[in-house]
Amino acid sequence: MADDKALTPRSEDFSAWYNEVVLRAELADYSPVRGSMVIRPWGYAIWENMQRALDDMFKATGHENAYFPLLIPMSFIEREKEHVEGFKPELAVVTHAGGKELEEHLVIRPTSETVIYSMYAKWVQSYRDLPVLMNQWANVMRWELRTRLFLRTSEFLWQEGHTAHATEAEAEEETLLILDIYRRFMEEWIAMPPVTGLKSESERFAGAVRTYGLEAMMQDRKALQAGTSHMLGQNFSRQFGLTFQSEEGQEEYAWNTSWGVSTRLIGGLVMSHGDDRGIVVPPKLAPAQVVMLPIFRSDDDREAVFGACNRVAGALSEAGVRVRLDDRTHLSPGARFWEWERKGVPFRVEIGPKDLEKGQVVVARRVHGEGEDRKMFLPESEAIGRMPGLLDELQAHLLETARTRRERDSVRGGVESVEALGEALDDGAGFVYTGWSGDPAVEERVKEVTKATLRVIPSEEFRSGSAPERCLGGEPSKMEVVWARAY
């Protein structure tokens, strides 16, 4: 870009835009170790808001937090066959400690099923000890060759829930409950409406019986797997001796579930709502929902302007709005406008000498509709009174916009061959709904020809009005599926 103050426009190079906006909104930065990142205060505050909301939802449904260790004995990972095969290529292993090679190498957790279920085995004796409903907030490590800030780094932060149940039906119910919590969280908080459903065999979590996923469509129409919820069956309980005595006195294996979302959600937030000026943080997650921006010419103005700013900030805070006062005087107003827009703060309240004269304040919106003015000139009390409503409206607007975009860029029906799928994707389709026979060979061929993967077998409410008759290979369709190129 000739003007290095501006971001590369999304239309020119989405991927360059993403990298720039993450760095320049001060969400994160590269660290000295390839593939790991530093999450900066602005980014971490968004994560903390996400954590709080999700944590409340987990607690409200009876889950408790705990913490399990970072290091896992290699032999644990190796216990479940599919699990080890899935994770082996991504493991980071501690081989030396205390100046000596360790007798048993330790894996830095890529996920914690193995340790957690080995502990559950110790704690659970009877059906009366079930269900066990735990969650942990932790970092995990999966060695990656190609990394991108938030979307794919070797180390990332997440939550992983792990539960144990007496019956298959209860475990299945738990898996779907969490899927619904994730879905509500993504819609209501991130304003990022996913398509939910079942993953195909090839995309299933290593060691699970079934994996459910949530797929969100980014502005470049690519799919982002935003969360997963796994029904683990008795695979892990058999390997770790997680048994209980049933009401009838029988020894039985418990049924497990595990589920997680990660800091990848921040990448999803950025790619869902960002524009060429920067990111847009949905009000419910914004570290600051309103920035107060004093503007003044002389020292005389200064006191009066700051007085008014503090007064308005106090009143907004009283009204439950998260406010931040930008009292930096060495930057011009323009410079400060751009900075907060880049960081995605929903509203700015500007107060200068002219406003004091007129008894008004300026409310500038980060996002405004066609024909809507960026700035509103309102009496102080009205600005304060209307702010909570404006925040709610923006939250709703972001969700609506994202949902409309998702459906606009989805193709339902009419695609009945692998070639047609490729053309649809090249023509700008994001999610393409087609029939599928259940044959993995079709997935392979689609991937080879179009680079798209089977994202999800959609839950009922996301399915098309009429079920497709043919699979892409021509054979009769057994189910509808969603294809997309994915992150």
Burial of 12 (C-beta count, 10 Å sphere; 0-12/13-18/19+): exposed
My answer on whether omega of the bond before 41 falls inside 30° of 0, hence cis, is no
| Nearest Cα residue to 133 out of 241, 252, 246, 257 | 257
Contact flag: residue 331 with RNA (CB under 7 A): yes
| Nearest Cα residue to 432 out of 465, 447, 454, 461 | 454
- Binding segment for RNA (CB under 7 A), chosen from 57-65, 183-191, 226-234, 407-415, is 226-234
Contact flag: residue 376 with RNA (CB under 7 A): no
For residue 128, the minimal CB distance to RNA (Å) is 33
Binders of RNA among residues 44 to 103 (CB under 7 A) are 86, 89-90
DSSP letter string, 181-227: HHHHHHHHTS---PEEEEPPGGGS-TT-SEEEEEEEE-TTS-EEEEE
Among 59, 122, 128, 375, binds RNA (CB under 7 A): 375
CA distance 175 to 331: 51
Contact flag: residue 342 with RNA (CB under 7 A): yes
- Binding segment for RNA (CB under 7 A), chosen from 281-289, 295-303, 392-400, 430-438, is 295-303
Q: Which is nearer to RNA, 124 or 452 (CB)?
A: 452
Binders of RNA among residues 432 to 451 (CB under 7 A) are 447, 451
Contact flag: residue 142 with RNA (CB under 7 A): yes
Indicate the Cα dihedral angle 228, 231, 237, 239, nearest 10°.
Answer: -70
CA distance 269 to 43: 11
Which pair of structure tokens corresponds to residue 403? Answer: 């949902």
Contact flag: residue 353 with RNA (CB under 7 A): yes
For residue 208, the minimal CB distance to RNA (Å) is 10
Contact in structure between 321 and 354 (CB atoms under 8 Å): no
Among 114, 153, 289, 450, binds RNA (CB under 7 A): 153
Contact flag: residue 189 with RNA (CB under 7 A): no
Question: Degrees (nearest 5) of the Cα angle 296, 302, 303?
Answer: 155
Question: Degrees (nearest 5) of the Cα angle 65, 54, 485?
Answer: 120
Contact flag: residue 374 with RNA (CB under 7 A): yes
- Encoded one letter per residue, x for contact with RNA by CB under 7 A and - for no contact, window 383-422 reads ----------------------------------------
For residue 186, the minimal CB distance to RNA (Å) is 12
> Dihedral of CA 354/357/358/360: which sign?
positive
Among 66, 97, 335, 467, binds RNA (CB under 7 A): 335
Among 8, 30, 55, 388, binds RNA (CB under 7 A): 30
For residue 466, the minimal CB distance to RNA (Å) is 30
Q: How many residues bind RNA (CB under 7 A)?
A: 65
Longest Cα–Cα distance in the chain: 84
Burial of 293 (C-beta count, 10 Å sphere; 0-12/13-18/19+): buried
Q: At what angle do helices 41-60 and 168-188 cross, to 10 degrees?
A: 140
Among 333, 413, 438, 473, binds RNA (CB under 7 A): 333
Among 146, 248, 426, 427, binds RNA (CB under 7 A): 146
Q: Using CB under 7 A as the criterion, which residues of the chain lie in contact with RNA when the complex forms? A: 3, 5-6, 15, 19, 30, 33-34, 86, 89-90, 142, 144-148, 151-154, 156, 158, 203, 205, 213, 225-228, 260-264, 277, 295-298, 329-335, 337-339, 341-342, 350-356, 362, 364, 374-375, 447, 451
